[in-house]
Amino acid sequence: MRELVIFFVLFLLGSCSPVQEKEHVEDETNVTIIFSDSLRQKTDFKPAPLYAIDSLEKKIITAGLVNIQTLIPDIIVDVRYSTPNNFMQRDMYGSLARIYLQPSVAEDLQKSQSALKEIDSTLSLYVYDGVRPRSVQQYMWDILEMPIHEKTKFVSNPKNGSLHNYGAAIDLTIADSSGVPLDMGAEYDDIRKIAYPRYEKAYLDSGLLTQYQVANRELLRKVMKAGGFWNIQTEWWHFNRYNRAKARELFEIVE
């Protein structure tokens, strides 16, 4: 009889809150296991590094210029002067990974992108450079070892202020659906005369440029003209939106 009473008391104790607490613990354990499994499945996942805005970019933003990708999300950006892959063969911009232009110039660039998409929706403008603060321009001018008459073909004298310094000029090309730049017969920042639009016919006649390469350059000029830009005669990739006098009237140089 005494054993029966003990059994009955233990049965009552076992049917009360301690069991519920145990079930609650098991639920928490299950949640933890599921969470751990989820983490285990994502061990190869690495979050993208946070983008840090440095002093150069802060200067550009403070001057009122805009990141072109906020206005033209499908445009491709490759900031070459943030790498050694340019004719200066050194990093000029540091961590800058965005292209900035004056707001009105960015809006006109959007027109050029739209004009290109109307011709071929698989193509996109592919941008190398936009605003270039004069402090960077000065550094480029100082270290570029060329005779003055040659140097001014590729880097404007910072005393005068270039259209890049105003955020009113842009360097770019066209890319295909895979994001690969079209063949222009000369790479970006190529200082050889084969990159000069003024010599295209001569190079075409000699066979050093193909009709396909020239046609790609002509397409770039056509769609940029739709946004009000024009090409210079020593760089197939460089387009101005305003002349220097108009840029000076409308904008301030980004120092």
User: SS3 for 127?
Assistant: strand
Cβ burial 7-24 (10 Å sphere, 16+ → b, else e): eeeeeeeeeeeeeeeeee
Q: Report if residue 19 sits inside a domain.
A: yes
Whether 235 maps to a domain, the answer reads yes
49 part of a folded domain: no
Q: Are the beta carbons of 80 and 188 closer than 8 angstroms?
A: yes
Quick check: 4 pLDDT over 60? no
Lowest mean per-residue pLDDT among 38-42, 169-173, 185-189: 38-42
The token pair that represents 166 in the structure block? 């105003």
Task: Mark whether 21 and 137 lie in a shared domain.
Answer: no
Residues 28 and 142 in one domain: no
CATH code assigned at 148:
3.30.1380.10
In a domain, 71, yes or no: yes
CA 171 to chain centre: 12
User: Structural domain tally of the chain?
Assistant: 2
| 47, part of any domain | no
Count Cα atoms within 13 angstroms, Cβ side, for 149. 0
207 and 117 inside one domain: yes
Percent of the chain with pLDDT over 90: 67
pLDDT attached to residue 51: 67
Give 20-65 pLDDT, tens digit per residue: 433 333 343 333 333 334 434 444 555 656 666 888 999 999 999 9
* Under 8 Å between Cβ of 193 and 199: yes
Same-domain pairing of 87 and 174? yes
| Co-location of 8 and 69 in the same domain | no
Give me the count of residues in the chain.
255
Q: Is residue 147 part of a domain?
A: yes
Same domain as 170, residue 66: yes
Do 203 and 142 fall into the same domain?
A: yes
CA–CA distance, 237 with 140 (Å, rounded to integer):
19
Is residue 30 located within the same domain as residue 64?
no
Tracing tokens 């440095």 back to the chain, one arrives at 54
Domain that holds residue 20: 2-41
Q: Are residues 18 and 70 in the same domain?
A: no
Does 144 lie in the same domain as 77? yes
Q: Residues 117, 182, 173, 76: is their CA dihedral positive or negative? A: positive
Both 138 and 236 in one domain: the answer is: yes
Dist CA 78 CA 195 (whole Å): 19
Of 11 and 101, the structure prediction assigns the larger pLDDT to 101
Q: Cβ neighbours of residue 131 under 8 Å, at least 6 residues apart? A: 60, 65, 99, 100, 101, 102, 164, 165, 166, 167, 254
Q: Are residues 156 and 182 in the same domain?
A: yes
